[in-house]
Amino acid sequence: MKKHIWLSSIFLIIGGVGILFCLLTQNYQDEGKRYSKKWAFSNEEFKKFEFNK
């Protein structure tokens, strides 16, 4: 049981250091970039599509 307590406390300390690092360097904010891309297909490319079940 003591092994579990030591192991969990080590993980908590590592996680706390990681959170503090992110907060101090301000790497936690999203830059607001769009992650989607619009694909342009021609009619011939649509004809080649095959939908399998």
Predicted confidence (pLDDT) per residue in 5-40, tens digit = 999 999 999 999 998 988 888 776 667 777 777 778
Give 29 or 3, the one with higher predicted confidence. 3
Give 12 or 48, the one with higher predicted confidence. 12
Q: Which residues are within 8 A (CB) of 21 and not within 5 positions of it... i.e. 6 or more apart?
A: 27
In the DSSP assignment, the letter for residue 29 is S
- The whole-number pLDDT of residue 6 equals 92
Give 28 or 47, the one with higher predicted confidence. 47
- The whole-number pLDDT of residue 46 equals 76
